[in-house]
Structure 1
Amino acid sequence: MSTNGAPAHRRRGQLFDSAFHDRFGQWPVGFVPAGGADMGDIVAVANAVGDGDDSAFYDAFVASGDVHAAEARRALVAGHRRSARARFLRASCMYAAAYHPIYGTPVDPRLLAAFDKQMDAFRTAMELCDPPVRPVAIPFEGGELPAYLVPAAERADQVRPLLILTNGFDATITDMYFASGVAALDRGYHVLMFDGPGQGAMLYRRGVPLRPDWETVIGAVVDFAETVPIVDRSRIALSGWSLGGYLAPRAASGEHRLAACIADPGQWDIADAIRRFLAAFGVPDADTVDVTGLDEATLAHLSAAIDADREMRWQIVQRGYWTTGVPDLRGFLRALAGFTLKDRVGGIRCPTLLTAAENDPLAADTAAFFDALTCPKALLRFTAAEGAGEHTEAVNRSLYNQRALDWLDEVLRAG
C-alpha cells in the first residue's frame, strides 16, 4: 500500500483499486455536468469497493442507486418534484454503472435487476418533466425499438430540429441522455434516444444481436420521427458514439433524409482494427489476411491470449460474443468483418463530422475515413492536454458537446 492508503500500482487519475473496475467506475464522471452523478457519489462507491471483486463493485453501485431512489421518493412525497427528478436521474446513473463487469451469457440475473431499476428510475424522472415525457415504441421489423423522444428545454410544443442519438456496443438510453442528450436539449434540439439491435433492452431482455446495416435501423427511426408534429423534418441529425461512430455514418450512407451526421470517433472499417489486433499477436501477414478464414491453430493461440487478459476477455468474450450473438472467436471475427463502410462511403451525402481523441485506438483510421468522404465534412481532434484524449472524450463530455453542437448549430442553421 502507498502512504495515502491507495494501492501503489494505481495509475494517476485512477479512483478504483482495480484498473478493470476503474474503466467502468469512472463512466459517471463524464455525466456529472448533466446531473448523472456527482464526484462524491463515485468516490464513495470506489471506497466501498476497495479491493473487492465484481460482486462488490455491483453491490456498491446498486446500493448508491438505492440511496438516491429512496431520497427521490421522500422528496416526491414532500412535494419537491425538482429534487425528486434530480435524485431519480442520479439513481439511474448509478444503477447503469453497476453491471458492466458481469456482462456475458448466460445473462446474470443481477444485470437484469439493475437494468430494470435503472430504467424505472429514468422513466420516473422523465415523467416528472414539465410536460411529462414518456417512453415511446418505434415500429421495427414486426417488433418495436424502445425509445424516448425528449422535447427541447422550454420549447416542448415548438417545431425544432431533432438530434437522434445512437449507441455502440455497451451503453444504454440513459448513458446517451447524460453524455449528449442534456446538452442538446439545452441548445433547443428535440432528442430521440433508442435501443437498437444488440443494445440495452433489445439485447438484455430480448436477445436481439447487433447488426451492421444501421441504415435499416435508422430508416425505421426516421420514419417514426417524421410522424411527430414537433419535429422539423428537414433538420433531422444523427449522432453516434463509440461503435456508434461506425453505425451513424453507415446509416447516413443509405438513409438520405438525414440533414447531418456525427461520428464520435469516426470509424469506417472494423476489420482494420481486427488486423491491428492480429499483428500485435504475431499473426503472419496480418495486414492482408482474411480475418474470416484463420486456421484453427491461430484461433487457439489468440483465444488463449484473450482468456489470459481480463480486459480482452471482457471486451471479446463477455461483451463481444454476447452482443453479436456468436459462440466463439471465429464467429466474432466473421461478424465484425461485416462492419465496413469502405464500399459505401460515397453514399454519405449529408454534412458529416468525425472526431478523433488522441489516445483512442478506435480513432486510428479516422483521418483515412475523413479523406475518403466526399460530402461536406469536418474533423475535430481532442487531446489529453485538454482532458479529452480518451475514447469518446469520456471524462470531458462538456468540451465534446460544446464543439460538436457548435458544428451542428452552424450546419443546420445554414440549411
Structure 2
Amino acid sequence: MSAIFKDELHEQLGTWPLAYIPYGGADYGEVEAIARTIGDGDDALFYDAWSAAADRMMVDGRQAETQGHRASARECFLRAACFYGKSFHPLFGQPVDPRVRLGSQKQIAAFERALALSEPAIVRQHIPFEGTSLLAYVIPAQGCANEVRPLLIFNNGYDGTITDLFFASAVAASRRGYHSLIFDGPGQGTTLIDHGITLRPDWENVISSVMDFALTLSNVDPLKIVLCGWSLGGYLAPRAASGERRLAACVADPALASVADGFRTYVMKLGATPDEAASLGDLPEALMERLTHIVANDRKLTWSIAKRGYWVNGAGALRDYLASVEHYTMDGRIGDIHCPTLFTMAEHDTLAAGTQNFFDALRCPKTLIRFSSNQGAGEHCEMRNRSLVNRRVLDWIDEVLA
C-alpha cells in the first residue's frame, strides 16, 4: 500500500484510524483528505488538520442530534473523538504542549458525548489507584448490557489513548457478546497528560486495582475476566498475569518479554560488547554520545525516544531512559503465568522479535497465532487488518471460556 501522508512519522501516526474503519472510527476518504491538507506541512499543521476535521464532525453531530438523528450524532461524535485523539500524537514530550492537553480534553468530551447516546448510556468510571484514580469506561455487550457475561480488560501500550482501545478492540468485543473495560493506566492517556503519572514496570499492581474494580460490576462473571494487551501492552499484560491470579486468560499482541532487549541488540550492532550491553544505563560515554547523535538526527527516533519515551518513562536524558527500560522484563516471572495465554506474532512487527522465545518459555496452556503480510496483517499490531486479529482472538477467548 502506497503512503498516504508525505512525512514518514505522519504516515506512522496518521494511518492508525484506517484500522478503525470497521468500527466507526473513520473512513478512508476522510483520512486521505486530511493527508492532502497536511501535504508537506509540519506537526503543527498535522494537529490543525486533524482538529479541524474533528471540529466539523462535532458540528455535524450537534446538528444531527438537534434534528433527532441520535444514531448519526453518535457516529459523528465517535469520529470526532478519534480525530482529536490523533491530532496531538506528534506533539508528545516535555514540557507538555498545550495542544496535547487541549486535544486530549476535546477527545474525551467528544467520546463521552457519543457514549451518552449509546443504548443504554455509558458514563465515565474512576478506578481507585494509589491515592488517585484511573479514567475508565465499561462498554457493554451489544444488546446485553444487564446480562452477567465475561469481561475483557483492554490494556494500552506506549502512546495509545482510551479511544484507541475502544475502536481497536472494544467495539468488536461488544459485537461478539463481551463486556469490555477500557482504562488509562500510568503513563497512558489522561493519567499521563492530566496527572503526570508515568509508566511503571510492575503492572501486576496496576491490574490488581483494575480487577478489584471489575469485580464490583454486577454484570460481570467474576470467573471469566480476560486481560488483553496490545503494543507495549504485550509486555504489561503478561507481567500482570504473572502476579494477578484472578485472571481467566491473557492475550498479548505481540508478546514482549523484555523492553531492553531490542536496545541491546541495536547497541551491539554499534560495537558494544555483550557485557557492556547487559546494562544499558552504564554504556560507555562515547557510545552514549553516538546514540544520542543518532536519535537526534532521526525524526522517528527523536519522537519515539526523546519525546515520547522520556516523557512516558519519566526520564530526563537518554542514559536515564535506557536505565529505566531495563526494569521492564519478565525475567524470573514467566513461570508465574498460570492462566491460558495467547500470543500473536505479525510477520514484520519488530516488537515481536522475541515472541517465539517467550512463548517457548511459557508453562501455562498456550497458543501462538501468526499473522502475515499476505493477510494484510504483517505490521505492528496488525493495524492494516484489525478485524482479522479481532476475529482470531475472540474465537480463542470463546473456546477458552466455554
Q: TM-score range by the shorter chain?
A: over 0.9
- Check conservation: 1:278, 1:286, Cα contact below 8 A: no
Query: Which residue does 2:81 correspond to in 1?
Result: 92
Distance, in Å, in 2 between the alignment partners of 1:230 and 1:286 is 52
How do 1:238-317 and structure 2 match up within 5 A? Answer: 238-285=227-274, 289-317=278-306
Deviation per residue, 1:180-236 (Å, 9 max, x gap): 000000111100000000000010111000000010000000000101110100000
Gaps of 5+ in 2: none
How do 1:134-213 and structure 2 match up within 5 A? Answer: 134-213=123-202
Matched, 1:17 2:9: no
Aligned with 2:26 (options 37, 49, 60)? 37
Distance, in Å, in 2 between the alignment partners of 1:277 and 1:385 is 28
Task: State percent identity of aligned pairs.
Answer: 51
The amino acid of 2:46's aligned partner reads F
Deviation per residue, 1:95-148 (Å, 9 max, x gap): 111111111000110111111111100001111111100000001111111100
Deviation per residue, 1:129-174 (Å, 9 max, x gap): 1110000000111111110011110000100000000001000110
**Deviates further, 263-272 or 243-252:** 263-272
CA pair 13-130 structure 1, distance change in 2 beyond 3 A = same
The amino acid of 2:263's aligned partner reads I
Distance, in Å, in 2 between the alignment partners of 1:52 and 1:280 is 34
Distance, in Å, in 2 between the alignment partners of 1:229 and 1:155 is 13
Deviation per residue, 1:58-81 (Å, 9 max, x gap): 111000000111100000000111
Query: Which residue does 1:381 correspond to in 2?
Result: 370
How do 1:2-13 and structure 2 match up within 5 A? Answer: 12-13=1-2
* 3-state secondary structure, aligned to 1:398: helix
How do 1:346-385 and structure 2 match up within 5 A? Answer: 346-385=335-374
- CA offset at residue 287 of structure 1? 8.2
* 3-state secondary structure, aligned to 1:354: strand
Distance, in Å, in 1 between the alignment partners of 2:359 and 2:11 is 32
Deviation per residue, 1:300-332 (Å, 9 max, x gap): 111011101111111110000000011011111
The amino acid of 2:77's aligned partner reads F
Gaps of 5+ in 1: 1-11
- CA offset at residue 295 of structure 1? 2.2
**Deviates further, 268-277 or 177-186:** 268-277
TM-score, length-normalised on structure 2? 0.99
The amino acid of 1:119's aligned partner reads I
- Check conservation: 2:254, 2:344, Cα contact below 8 A: yes
* 3-state secondary structure, aligned to 2:345: strand
* 3-state secondary structure, aligned to 1:313: helix
Distance, in Å, in 1 between the alignment partners of 2:81 and 2:378 is 27
* 3-state secondary structure, aligned to 2:288: helix
Distance, in Å, in 2 between the alignment partners of 1:395 and 1:99 is 21
CA RMSD of aligned residues (A): 1.0
- CA offset at residue 274 of structure 1? 1.5
The amino acid of 2:209's aligned partner reads A
- Check conservation: 1:279, 1:286, Cα contact below 8 A: no
CA pair 14-149 structure 1, distance change in 2 beyond 3 A = same
The amino acid of 1:249's aligned partner reads P
The amino acid of 2:231's aligned partner reads S
The amino acid of 1:75's aligned partner reads A
- Check conservation: 2:267, 2:277, Cα contact below 8 A: no
* 3-state secondary structure, aligned to 2:316: coil
Distance, in Å, in 1 between the alignment partners of 2:270 and 2:111 is 43
CA pair 322-80 structure 1, distance change in 2 beyond 3 A = same
- Check conservation: 2:279, 2:323, Cα contact below 8 A: no
The amino acid of 1:252's aligned partner reads A
Matched, 1:58 2:65: no
- Check conservation: 1:275, 1:287, Cα contact below 8 A: no
Distance, in Å, in 2 between the alignment partners of 1:206 and 1:92 is 20
Distance, in Å, in 2 between the alignment partners of 1:69 and 1:294 is 50
* 3-state secondary structure, aligned to 2:278: coil
Query: Which residue does 1:397 correspond to in 2?
Result: 386
* 3-state secondary structure, aligned to 2:239: helix
Distance, in Å, in 1 between the alignment partners of 2:352 and 2:338 is 22
- CA offset at residue 299 of structure 1? 1.1
- CA offset at residue 292 of structure 1? 2.4
Distance, in Å, in 1 between the alignment partners of 2:57 and 2:269 is 44
Distance, in Å, in 2 between the alignment partners of 1:360 and 1:172 is 20
- Check conservation: 1:354, 1:366, Cα contact below 8 A: yes
* 3-state secondary structure, aligned to 1:107: coil
Report the number of matched residues. Answer: 402
* 3-state secondary structure, aligned to 2:274: coil
**Deviates further, 265-274 or 119-128:** 265-274
Query: Which residue does 1:6 correspond to in 2?
Result: none
Distance, in Å, in 1 between the alignment partners of 2:284 and 2:276 is 16
The amino acid of 2:222's aligned partner reads R
